[in-house]
């Protein structure tokens, strides 16, 4: 960096009555150095300045050389004079340089300063006036050429060039002082140590700039929303279900939920079937060593009934095929083979079913939830992926009413900031009644479907061995849909999967469902 010009500028202002011109006061200082100094001074209101832009004639390197040492012809003349008895033409380049020799010799002849005597140059006069040099010296000072013809000639001879020259008109500012005190940019340990912080001047902080970027990791936006939902469930007394099981049997995914075997949901078009391994075993007790077996917080005081899986299987068959528990059934030949086909679970309700069956060992009030991945063999588009997350809640209790389900939903959704709900009758093979939940979206100004709910059918619950007067609410929604609405994401692939933009993950704000 060039030398600090703040001091010279302050001094010059002190010595001058009025404003100063940098081009006059500091003609040889590059304008960039002046600029940085006046900026610094101006930021503290010590000076004020105007920028002056003008075109100036500036000597080229050759022009500078002539201004300093004389024109080529003058140099030739001096060399000739210096030689006592004329100068051999051949010696001239050795003395004045090759460049000067040619042009200088010619010009000196033209001006009649020298003459040629065979191979020797001789002076014809004792003294000369070096006009070229005088002209250039004058231009250097004034930075202007009055005569246009001369200007063109000098430019052609590459002795001057025309440049934009920036200079400054500097005057005292409201906080002018003779001294520019050095500014500290930061409070350092040394300052604390040597006490210099007491006298140091601190550079004002730029409150318009951003701070230094904080290096940080990030949690995925979808998982942040998931965590909010989990918190809501925990606040309301729910136990998380073991959904770490992607592969299910037709039995747990469909039959046990009273989804008939010809239901469209079981089509190859909708469900991923497994080719390897091919066939499941009929339902049975989980292995003892399975670390994911659900463990109640405290052992119930009443004794647990041993679950009879064979009986359950048979009950499910009967309720589909012939009807049972007050139901006329679907009345079709139920296939055990179909029930043992392996699928990627299409919903986490398969796990709710598994948990409710476990509950039949000791029927008691229970609240379960899960949020996990489910799989649908759908064509992928902006709103559909073959995978998404399902949020599911289950409440089992005696004497539950439909109004209770509605009342519960009001509290549940109020915790996510949705305060107006209404319910539409709908159809779902495993819930009756089934209610679609619509919430009023303030931003969109309309009712949007936000979930599905219902009471599980007796044909699903009673085969498990749950008592007839135990009723079970179930409801579900996808995790992606509310997240897409919330973040105005229009393509689900921008939210889930490998095409998600890492910058989106890293800059996504914290999630507070109740606030938005």
Partner 1 sequence: MPTISVDKAELFKELGKDYTTEEFDELCFEFGIELDEDTTNSDRPTVDGKQEPPQLKIEIPANRYDLLCFEGIALMLNIFLGRKPLPNYRLIEPPSGELQKIIVKEDTMKVRPLVSGAILRNVTFDQARYESFIALQDKLHQNLARQRTLVSIGTHDLDTIQGPFTYEALPPRDIRFVPLNQTQEMNGEELMDFYDKDKHLGKYLHIIRDSPVYPVIYDSQRTVCSLPPIINGDHSKITLNTRNVFIEITALDKTKVEIVNKIMVSMFSQYTSEPFTIEPIQVVSEHNNETRITPDIAPRTTQAEVSYLNQCCGLQLSQEDICKLLKKMAYDATPSSSSDLVDVHIPPTRADVLHQADIMEDVAIAYGFNKLPRSFPSKSGTIAQPLPINKLSDIVRVEAAMAGWSEVLPLILCSHDENFAWLNRKDDGNIAVKLANPKTMEFQVVRTSLLPGLLKTIRENKQHSVPMKIFEVSDVAFKDLSLERKSRNERHFAAAWYGKSSGFEVVHGLLDRIMSMLKSAFITGEEGLENPEVGASHYWIEELNDPTFFPGHAASVHLRIGDKDHTIGAFGILHPTVLENYEMKYPVSTLEINIEAFL
* Positions in 323-362 near partner 1 (CB under 8 A): 323, 325-332, 342, 344
H or E stretch including 67?
Answer: helix 61-69
Q: What mask of x and - would describe binding to partner 1 in positions 483 to 512, judged by CB under 8 A?
A: -------------xxxxxxxx-xx------
How many chain residues are in contact with partner 1, going by CB under 8 A?
111
Per CB under 8 A, contacts with partner 1 among 185-224 are 215-220, 222-223
Nearest-approach distance from CB 172 to partner 1, in angstroms: 47
Binds partner 1 by CB under 8 A, chosen from 113, 180, 272, 313: 272
Closest-CA residue to 433 (of 468, 474, 470): 474
- Using CB under 8 A as the binding rule, whether residue 281 contacts partner 1 is answered as yes
Smaller CB distance to partner 1: residue 130 or 462? 462
- Using CB under 8 A as the binding rule, whether residue 410 contacts partner 1 is answered as yes
Binds partner 1 by CB under 8 A, chosen from 241, 391, 464, 466: 241
Given a contact cutoff of 8 angstroms between Cβ atoms, the answer to whether 431 and 456 are in contact is yes
Nearest-approach distance from CB 433 to partner 1, in angstroms: 4
Binds partner 1 by CB under 8 A, chosen from 434, 452, 489, 511: 434
Nearest-approach distance from CB 448 to partner 1, in angstroms: 13
- Using CB under 8 A as the binding rule, whether residue 233 contacts partner 1 is answered as yes
9 phi/psi in degrees, rounded to 5: -65, -45
Binds partner 1 by CB under 8 A, chosen from 411, 420, 467, 514: 411
Smaller CB distance to partner 1: residue 186 or 276? 276
Binds partner 1 by CB under 8 A, chosen from 146, 268, 444, 510: 268
Q: In 111-188, which ranges are continuous DSSP H helix?
A: 131-142, 148-156
d(CA 184, CA 177): 18
d(CA 277, CA 254): 19
Nearest-approach distance from CB 40 to partner 1, in angstroms: 33
Given a contact cutoff of 8 angstroms between Cβ atoms, the answer to whether 448 and 438 are in contact is yes
How many Cβ atoms from other residues are within 10 Å of residue 43's Cβ?
A: 12
| Angle value at C-alpha 371, between 271 and 438, nearest 5 degrees | 85
Nearest-approach distance from CB 419 to partner 1, in angstroms: 14
Per CB under 8 A, contacts with partner 1 among 102-141 are none
Smaller CB distance to partner 1: residue 280 or 513? 280
Per CB under 8 A, contacts with partner 1 among 285-314 are 286-287, 291-292, 297-298
Retrieve residue 6's tokens: 């703040």
Q: Which residue has the tokens 């500097």?
A: 170
| Span interacting with partner 1, options 48-56, 123-131, 281-289, 299-307, rule CB under 8 A | 281-289
- Using CB under 8 A as the binding rule, whether residue 452 contacts partner 1 is answered as no
447 phi/psi in degrees, rounded to 5: -80, 130
d(CA 196, CA 68): 50
Nearest-approach distance from CB 265 to partner 1, in angstroms: 9
List, as one string, the DSSP characters of 244-262: ---EEEHHHHTGGGT--TT
Given a contact cutoff of 8 angstroms between Cβ atoms, the answer to whether 151 and 57 are in contact is yes
Given a contact cutoff of 8 angstroms between Cβ atoms, the answer to whether 275 and 435 are in contact is no
Smaller CB distance to partner 1: residue 114 or 405? 405
Q: In what order do the strands lie in the sheet with 87-88?
A: 87-88, 120-123, 114-117
Smaller CB distance to partner 1: residue 81 or 414? 414
Given a contact cutoff of 8 angstroms between Cβ atoms, the answer to whether 339 and 255 are in contact is yes
Nearest-approach distance from CB 287 to partner 1, in angstroms: 7
């Amino acid at each position: 960096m060039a030398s600090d010009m703040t001091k010279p500028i302050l001094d010059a202002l002190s010595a001058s009555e009025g404003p100063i011109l940098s081009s006059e006061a500091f003609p040889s200082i590059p304008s960039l150095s002046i600029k940085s100094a006046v900026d610094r001074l101006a930021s503290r209101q010590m000076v004020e300045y105007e920028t002056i832009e003008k075109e100036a004639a500036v000597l080229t390197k050759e022009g500078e050389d002539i201004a300093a040492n004389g024109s080529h012809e003058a140099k030739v003349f001096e060399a000739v004079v210096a030689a006592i008895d004329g100068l051999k033409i051949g010696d001239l380049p050795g003395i004045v340089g090759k460049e000067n020799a040619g042009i200088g010799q010619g010009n000196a002849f033209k001006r009649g300063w020298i003459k040629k005597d065979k191979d020797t140059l001789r002076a014809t006069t004792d003294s000369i006036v070096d006009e070229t040099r005088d002209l250039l010296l004058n231009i250097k000072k004034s930075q202007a050429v009055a005569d246009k013809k001369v200007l063109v000639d000098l430019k052609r001879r590459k002795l001057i060039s025309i440049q934009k020259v920036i200079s400054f008109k500097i005057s005292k500012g409201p906080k002018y002082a003779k001294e520019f005190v050095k500014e500290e940019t930061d409070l350092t340990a040394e300052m604390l140590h040597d006490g210099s912080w007491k006298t140091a001047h601190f550079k004002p902080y730029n409150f318009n700039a951003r701070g230094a970027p904080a290096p940080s990791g990030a949690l995925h936006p979808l998982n942040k929303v998931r965590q909010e939902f989990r918190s809501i469930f925990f606040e309301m007394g729910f136990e998380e279900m073991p959904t770490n099981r992607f592969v299910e049997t037709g039995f747990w995914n469909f039959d046990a939920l009273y989804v008939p075997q010809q239901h469209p949901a079981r089509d190859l078009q909708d469900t991923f079937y497994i080719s390897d391994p091919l066939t499941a075993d009929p339902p049975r007790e989980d292995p003892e060593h399975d670390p994911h077996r659900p463990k109640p917080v405290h052992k119930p005081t009443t004794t647990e009934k041993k679950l009879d899986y064979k009986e359950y299987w048979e009950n499910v068959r009967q309720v589909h095929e012939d009807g049972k528990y007050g139901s006329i059934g679907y009345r079709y030949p139920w296939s055990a083979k179909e029930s043992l086909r392996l699928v990627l679970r299409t919903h986490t309700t398969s796990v709710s079913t598994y948990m409710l069956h476990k509950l039949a060992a000791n029927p008691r009030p229970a609240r379960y939830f899960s949020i996990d991945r489910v799989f649908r063999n759908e064509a992928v588009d902006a709103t559909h992926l073959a995978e998404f997350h399902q949020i599911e809640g289950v409440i089992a209790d005696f004497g539950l009413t439909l109004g209770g389900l509605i009342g519960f939903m009001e509290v549940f959704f109020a915790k996510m900031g949705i305060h107006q709900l209404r319910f539409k009758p709908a159809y779902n093979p495993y819930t009756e009644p089934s209610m679609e939940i619509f919430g009023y979206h303030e931003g969109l100004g309309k009712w949007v479907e936000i979930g599905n709910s219902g009471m599980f059918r007796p044909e699903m619950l009673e085969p498990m061995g749950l008592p007839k007067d135990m009723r079970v609410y179930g409801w579900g929604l996808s995790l992606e849909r509310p997240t897409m609405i919330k973040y105005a994401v229009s393509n689900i692939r921008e939210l889930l999967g490998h095409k998600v933009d890492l910058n989106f993950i890293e800059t996504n704000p914290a999630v507070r469902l109740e606030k938005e």
